[in-house]
Structure 1
Amino acid sequence: MAHDPFNTPADRIRGVLKYWKAGLAIAAVLVVLTERNLIARENKDHLVSGEVERIDTANGKPRATVRLGEAQEAVVVLPSGTPCHAGSKIRLVRHDNVSQHSFRPADPPCAG
């Protein structure tokens, strides 16, 4: 059997490298999908504390604006009959995933 002169290690490496743009495009698509939270979800819940700034009503449900630190605020819908008022301490559950986080009241959110 004759030896193929174009089957050297350098030729095989060149054959793989000519498709580098396709590999780069696939990697870019995976990064975008991961960033948009379409794959590789990491759902985590944390208990955080804050202070109620004000309570108002929207669509017949009480809702509280909560200060969670110096630079962060959250608006959460409170369950009916919650003894929260402006200035009271409140506990929230922070739900994190890859690209965003949301808040909901803990059970019970405010101490009487």
Structure 2
Amino acid sequence: MGQILGLVQVDQSTVAIKETFGKFNEVLEPGCHFLPWCIGQQIAGYLSLLVRQLWMSAVKQRQRLSPDNVFVTAVASVRYRALADKASDAFYKLSNTREQIQSYVLDGNVYVRL
């Protein structure tokens, strides 16, 4: 019923991506907003701002030889979240966040000291 009247509710810890005729317009903060659909305004999607956690094991890609000739397998935990001021980048530029973070970490771009 709210969509018919042009009212949209954005939940707490979430932002909404507003488009006008398919073009990015602005990021809507939590609360109630008026979007008149008759002039082409719509919600393209929602983005959670909650902290998420990703567990991964480096054994899938490679094992490292430590200075004392012992193979070491690292288990990593990555915590991430979208920033409200960069919400449009997170929504439009990232397709699969979990796989992109996992690829970045397991590719060796993040180094851990033993």
TM more than 0.5: no
Structure whose CA Rg is larger: 1
Larger RCO (CA within 8 A; separation ≥ 6) = 1
Normalising by structure 2, we get a TM-score of 0.28
**Structure with the bigger percentage of helix:** 2
Normalising by structure 1, we get a TM-score of 0.29
